[in-house]
Chain A
Amino acid sequence: MLKMTHLSKVYRTEVVETYALRDFNIDVKEGEFVAVTGPSGSGKTTFLTIAGLLETFTGGTYHLDNIEVSQLDDNARSKIRNEKIGFIFQAFNLIPDLNVFDNVEVPLRYRGMKAPERKERIMGALERVGLASRAKHYPAELSGGQQQRVAIARALAGSPRLLLADEPTGNLDTQMARGVMELLEEIHREGATIVMVTHDPELAARAQRNVHIIDGQVVDLAEDPRFHAHVVEARQGQGRS
């Protein structure tokens, strides 16, 4: 479903080159639920933005649903984002001027879907996340957990092949986070492929597989000394606090 091979992402300025991802390799099979973890600045978000075709990469190859995406133009990338990928952002990223129904409708309109089908999918997705009764509400009228559920409904409405979640519970309290996580697990059980970036080891533990990124590379947790260094660093930090 998602395969990156020797992928690199370099940010260049006049004087310095910064590798956000270097010789990055990952292979996510269809139907997997993968949690991507790693310390701040390790490249998790860069991985997610490249995986979601929000950004281009510098080198290597990336196959999404068996399509090599590096040569695709902006329109083709938009079409893949629209049809194959569902995004769940940490900050929900709902459009504040639109109500719940219209927010969920946004990607369906860009797909050129007819109104009756749009309505059916929107209401189906909202029922799926338990918010069908809030269709006419605006984001500001909902709790954080409800907003994230709307975002999940928006991601689900288009029946994407891949769900990309960037810290989906990062802005939620524990109870709301649990609810959202249970929803993602339920979606996964129904066959969806999910890649979730998270800081939270508890959430990561609930995924089928964990991929750890350090310094822009996927590492084997058991063997990589950098992981142990990060663990020690983290523990020392906890001790200080």
Chain B
Amino acid sequence: MDIQIRPILVALRRHKAGTLLIALQIALTLAIVCNAFFIIHQRLANLSQASGVDEGDVFVIANYWADVNRSTEQVDAQVRADLIALRQLPAVLDTTPASGYPLRGGGWDNFVTMTPDQVKPTTDAAVYTGDEHFIDTLGLNLVAGRNFRPDEVTAMGTQQAITPSTAIVSKALAERLFPGGNALGKSFYAMGTTPSTIIGIVDPLHRQGVDSWSNSYAGQALIWPLRADDSKGIYYIVRARPGQLAAAMRDAPKALYAQNRMRIIDPKDGIQSYAEIRHRVYDSDRGMVILMSVISVVLLAITAAGIVGLTSFWVGQRRKQIGVRRALGARQRDILSYFLTENLLITGGGVLLGLLLAIGTNLWLMLRFASQPMPMVYLVVGVLLLLLLGQGAVFAPALRASRVPPVEATRSV
């Protein structure tokens, strides 16, 4: 096969408009599709991020108090009574009070420092509160140390800022605070001047937020042994016995209302299974994946159609010329190779420009939307995809061209 690159380039120079338009279309498609693939992959990775929670059997009740003027002691008494009521349900295995939960979509975060007077924080961590049942209820994996003892759990009322002396942290946070070392027994500061000593390490434990800016801290979390007795309300995280999630979700609000009716549990979304929580919190990611996929497919289809259209037009326009080439000795595969090579050159040009545009677009997204730098692999995949798309799109018209008979050379136009 004689690759006739120079004559093809010479000929293309005489068809500048069509060539440039297709090359530009390919460049734009590459720029957009590479970034779209990167975004899709990031968002899909988000969708499958581990929360650390044994999600199949766990649900959350958002419990709001009808009487917001109660004292911390009164609220704490009610919370403890509620916990007893819930734990007595046959379908419930365990439960814990909490100020937030993984994948909630936002919540309590604190800067973490190594010394009380440190100005610049070492890092940032999600803060969870719960009692000695928190780890078992969520099904967290305690990889080192121990759980909270009941005597370490204290009540914290509205507007109070209690820093417990003990904490359980996620492995990611432990490694960030004490790289390469054993964090157990070591202390950090997250609120005020009281140190918290790490008594246990869980892995993994996701933050409450899922926004892209906190991705680098996604696995950093700490748990304090507190019953956050806020006068407005509290979350009860409940673990159902295996296979009894529906029954537990049905019985739990009844048990709470039976205990005390002075509360509000939204009948629509006051009780959510973890499947619902995950689905809701990643709604925008899922939407973005669908949007970017549709944009990519449409763009690729339009580009392919453009290539098919232009090549078909050129084949029709050059029918006589193809006949002449055949008369002069071109085999069918020479004609096929001519059009495939021609497309490869146009697509190659478009792809080179597209690479610059793709990198430029990624830089803009990084500056404008705090996106991450796009790894090279997306550019490589994008380039290969566009080159294959070009060759695929041009194949049918090129095959038609190769079937133009040599006698076409003798026919008058």
**Are B334 and A91 in touch, CB under 8 angstroms?**
no
Given the known A-B contacts A52-B327, A78-B330, A110-B330, are A87 and B409 also in contact in the complex, defined by CB atoms under 8 Å?
yes
Given the known A-B contacts A93-B320, A106-B325, are A75 and B331 also in contact in the complex, defined by CB atoms under 8 Å?
yes
Q: Is B297 an interface residue (CB 8 A)?
A: no
**Are B10 and A97 in touch, CB under 8 angstroms?**
yes
**Are B410 and A89 in touch, CB under 8 angstroms?**
yes
Q: Is A237 an interface residue (CB 8 A)?
A: no
**Are A55 and B405 in touch, CB under 8 angstroms?**
yes
- Return the chain B residue nearest A95 by Cβ: B321
Given the known A-B contacts A97-B10, A98-B11, are A74 and B331 also in contact in the complex, defined by CB atoms under 8 Å?
yes
Question: How far does the alpha carbon of A102 sit from the alpha carbon of B14 in the complex, in Å?
Answer: 14
Of the residues A79, A81, A111, contact of B327 by C-beta under 8 Å: A81
Given the known A-B contacts A78-B331, A81-B406, are A95 and B324 also in contact in the complex, defined by CB atoms under 8 Å?
yes
Given the known A-B contacts A93-B324, A95-B321, are A109 and B11 also in contact in the complex, defined by CB atoms under 8 Å?
no
Of the residues B14, B332, B412, contact of A97 by C-beta under 8 Å: B14
Q: Which residues of A contact B328 (CB under 8 A)?
A: 81-82, 87, 106-107, 110, 154
Find residues 97-119 in chain A having any chain B CB closer than 8 Å to their own CB: 97-99, 102, 105-107, 109-112
**Are A48 and B410 in touch, CB under 8 angstroms?**
yes
**Are A102 and B2 in touch, CB under 8 angstroms?**
no
Q: Is B267 an interface residue (CB 8 A)?
A: no
**Are A49 and B332 in touch, CB under 8 angstroms?**
no
Question: How far does the alpha carbon of A78 sit from the alpha carbon of B320 in the complex, in Å?
Answer: 17
- Return the chain A residue nearest B332 by Cβ: A74
Q: Which residues of A contact B406 (CB under 8 A)?
A: 53-55, 78, 81
- Return the chain A residue nearest B8 by Cβ: A97
- Return the chain B residue nearest A50 by Cβ: B407
Question: How far does the alpha carbon of A112 sit from the alpha carbon of B333 in the complex, in Å?
Answer: 14
Q: Which residues of B contact A79 (CB under 8 A)?
A: 329, 331
Q: Which residues of B contact A106 (CB under 8 A)?
A: 7, 325, 328
In the complex, number of A-B residue pairs with CB atoms less than 8 Å apart: 87
Question: How far does the alpha carbon of A82 sit from the alpha carbon of B324 in the complex, in Å?
Answer: 11
Question: How far does the alpha carbon of A95 sit from the alpha carbon of B331 in the complex, in Å?
Answer: 17
Question: How far does the alpha carbon of A74 sit from the alpha carbon of B15 in the complex, in Å?
Answer: 31
Question: How far does the alpha carbon of A105 sit from the alpha carbon of B11 in the complex, in Å?
Answer: 14
Question: How far does the alpha carbon of A158 sit from the alpha carbon of B329 in the complex, in Å?
Answer: 11
Question: How far does the alpha carbon of A52 sit from the alpha carbon of B410 in the complex, in Å?
Answer: 11
Q: Mask for B205-235, Cβ within 8 A of A = 1, else 0? A: 0000000000000000000000000000000
Q: Which residues of A contact B324 (CB under 8 A)?
A: 89, 93, 95
Q: Which residues of B contact A81 (CB under 8 A)?
A: 326-329, 406
Of the residues A82, A97, A154, contact of B11 by C-beta under 8 Å: A97
Q: Which residues of B contact A23 (CB under 8 A)?
A: none
Q: Is B193 an interface residue (CB 8 A)?
A: no
Given the known A-B contacts A93-B324, A99-B10, are A111 and B409 also in contact in the complex, defined by CB atoms under 8 Å?
no
- Return the chain A residue nearest B402 by Cβ: A74
Q: Is B71 an interface residue (CB 8 A)?
A: no
Q: Is B4 an interface residue (CB 8 A)?
A: yes
**Are A91 and B412 in touch, CB under 8 angstroms?**
yes
Q: Which residues of A contact B405 (CB under 8 A)?
A: 54-55
- Return the chain B residue nearest A82 by Cβ: B329
Question: How far does the alpha carbon of A54 sit from the alpha carbon of B325 in the complex, in Å?
Answer: 11
Find residues 122-170 in chain A having any chain B CB closer than 8 Å to their own CB: 154, 158, 166
Question: How far does the alpha carbon of A93 sit from the alpha carbon of B324 in the complex, in Å?
Answer: 7
Question: How far does the alpha carbon of A109 sit from the alpha carbon of B410 in the complex, in Å?
Answer: 21
Q: Mask for A39-73, Cβ within 8 A of B = 1, else 0? A: 00000010011001111000000000000000000
Question: How far does the alpha carbon of A105 sit from the alpha carbon of B6 in the complex, in Å?
Answer: 12
Q: Closest CB of chain B to A90's CB: distance in Å?
A: 9
Question: How far does the alpha carbon of A74 sit from the alpha carbon of B335 in the complex, in Å?
Answer: 13
Question: How far does the alpha carbon of A96 sit from the alpha carbon of B7 in the complex, in Å?
Answer: 12
- Return the chain A residue nearest B408 by Cβ: A54
Q: Which residues of A contact B14 (CB under 8 A)?
A: 96-97
Question: How far does the alpha carbon of A53 sit from the alpha carbon of B331 in the complex, in Å?
Answer: 13
Q: Closest CB of chain A to B252's CB: distance in Å?
A: 78
**Are A98 and B10 in touch, CB under 8 angstroms?**
yes
Q: Which residues of B contact A75 (CB under 8 A)?
A: 331-332
Q: Which residues of A contact B334 (CB under 8 A)?
A: 78, 110
**Are B329 and A83 in touch, CB under 8 angstroms?**
yes
Of the residues B2, B321, B410, contact of A49 by C-beta under 8 Å: B410
Question: How far does the alpha carbon of A91 sit from the alpha carbon of B2 in the complex, in Å?
Answer: 27
Q: Which residues of A contact B10 (CB under 8 A)?
A: 97-99, 102
Question: How far does the alpha carbon of A52 sit from the alpha carbon of B407 in the complex, in Å?
Answer: 9
- Return the chain A residue nearest B410 by Cβ: A49
Given the known A-B contacts A49-B407, A54-B407, are A111 and B7 also in contact in the complex, defined by CB atoms under 8 Å?
no
**Are B407 and A97 in touch, CB under 8 angstroms?**
no
Question: How far does the alpha carbon of A45 sit from the alpha carbon of B334 in the complex, in Å?
Answer: 26
Question: How far does the alpha carbon of A227 sit from the alpha carbon of B407 in the complex, in Å?
Answer: 28
Of the residues A89, A105, A107, contact of B409 by C-beta under 8 Å: A89
> Which one of B328, B331, B405 has the greatest number of beta carbons of chain A within 10 Å?
B328
Q: Which residues of A contact B412 (CB under 8 A)?
A: 91
Q: Which residues of A contact B410 (CB under 8 A)?
A: 45, 48-49, 54, 89, 166
Question: How far does the alpha carbon of A110 sit from the alpha carbon of B334 in the complex, in Å?
Answer: 8
Give me 11 other A-B pairs in contact (C-beta within 8 A), A52-B327, A110-B329 excluded. Answer: A49-B407, A54-B409, A78-B329, A78-B331, A78-B332, A79-B329, A83-B329, A87-B327, A87-B328, A89-B324, A97-B10
7 sample A-B contacts, Cβ–Cβ < 8 Å, listed by A number: A54-B406, A55-B405, A78-B326, A78-B332, A93-B320, A97-B15, A98-B10
Across the A-B interface, the 7 shortest Cβ-Cβ residue pairs: A82-B329, A97-B11, A110-B329, A107-B328, A54-B407, A54-B406, A78-B331
Residues of B bordering A, CB below 8 Å: 2, 4, 7, 10-11, 14-15, 320-321, 324-332, 334, 405-407, 409-410, 412
